[in-house]
Amino acid sequence: MNIKRIVGDGATEKAYLADVRGRGVATDREVTAVVSEIIEAVRTGGDRAVNAFTEKFDGKLPAYFEVPREAINDALTAADENYVNAMLSAIENITDFHARQKEQSFIVPMENGCIMGQRTRGLKRVGLYVPGGRAAYPSSVLMNAIPAKIAGVSEIIMVTPPLPDGTANPDILVAAALCGVDRIFLCGGAQAAAALAYGTESIPKCDKIVGPGNIYVATAKKILFGTVDIDMIAGPSEILVVADRNANPAYLAADMLSQAEHDPIASAVLITDSREIADKTITELEKQLEKLSRKEIAQKSLENFGAVIIMPDIDSAIELANDFAPEHLELQIENPLSYIGKIDNAGSLFLGAYTPEALGDYYAGPNHVLPTSGTAAFFSPLSVYAFTKRSSFIYYTKEALAAAKDDILTIAGKEGLDAHANSVSIRG
């Protein structure tokens, strides 16, 4: 395995991380063209088009289009008890964390008799895309559905590709049942995203689409944004680990590999102020890699988009981390809590030697749907806020409007909008 080893000089490391950050940003014109055709076909053809694409891409139609309640109940009944209990514990933690994000409406009565305020409520219907092939992650069902439920979303519609035998992935059905998904349809790809955006004879039109997918799903969501809201355009997964001379190289390597095994274009980077830690972590990576069932994927990831970067000190490492704005940022350093205020750009922050990124993926409570490819500089993790909408309201008395009249007319005059001004002056 040949992972890059970079000695920071103020330029080389920044140039490398800029290349890594841009690895999933480029738009594939051929994919965009194919996806655009699929979207238009579903918009005009509804269920017929969705089923045609399912048959084309998956080989045959599933056993059923909408998963019957009996199949969901059967999956839950047949599920491994340890798996169900683990999911219930995760649900408890995720619910507890996200419940703290719930916003309240407010009303502000003024002394002059005016009333202003804001009404906050959940979206009516949300579509949840869940991959069902190699990348089938029941934990993502929890991370998307739970905050939606807390926000007050009335209905969650899930779409997921069928397994080769034409049925739904049972682990995904269990997750959906445990966190209250309302309806489940067996379809995937860009056609499923289009169905959620426009609605078909069977699949209800949704206000927002959330959930991960391959390049076709991501491209569809990007094209459909505006017709429907989306969570984010997710790129390849990434982890950045900042470690000092006291860190455990075995832990560092294990955490880097936990992301590298996702995808050949996932990225795992270590930044340290210790040459000894750098060398020992590379040795650990090579040793642990041999034991992985997804060795080939992880090795390609590390060789193409992985690196061990040696910086002069931890402060310069933190500065470089902020510049990269990673999806996952681990601080395996002395007194990690003291650095929280210095981290401006990260999707999620993992503090200390006993807080591996996998803890956040599955169990701790914060959401694992995070901004990637440097977008943590301006995007936030998925949350309850993503599933709400807000409307302001204003009530003015006659006297209050009269008091504001001259200021409004002055501003309207500057903008040349006579009708705006007249709507105020006509009221006296």
Instruction: Tell me the C-alpha distance between 6 and 113, whole Å.
Output: 66
Instruction: Tell me the C-alpha distance between 333 and 337, whole Å.
Output: 9
Please answer whether residues 35 and 220 qualify as being in contact, where contact means their C-beta atoms are separated by less than 8 angstroms: yes
One of 328, 330, 357, 368 is an active-site residue; which one?
328
One of 238, 327, 330, 357 is an active-site residue; which one?
327
Instruction: Tell me the C-alpha distance between 160 and 77, whole Å.
Output: 20
Query: By C-alpha distance, which of 381, 374, 375 is closest to 349?
Result: 381
- Residue 420 designated active-site: no
Instruction: Tell me the C-alpha distance between 156 and 123, whole Å.
Output: 10
Q: What is the DSSP string of 331-345?
A: EESSSGGGGGGG--S
β-sheet bridge partners, residue 176: none
- Residue 238 designated active-site: no
SS3 content of the chain, % helix, strand, coil (to 5): 50, 15, 35
Q: Which helix (H) or strand (E) holds 119?
A: strand 115-122
Alpha carbon distances (Å) from 109 to 392, 394, 399: 14, 10, 15
Structure tokens belonging to residue 183: 């309806």
Q: Which residues are known to be catalytic?
A: 327-328
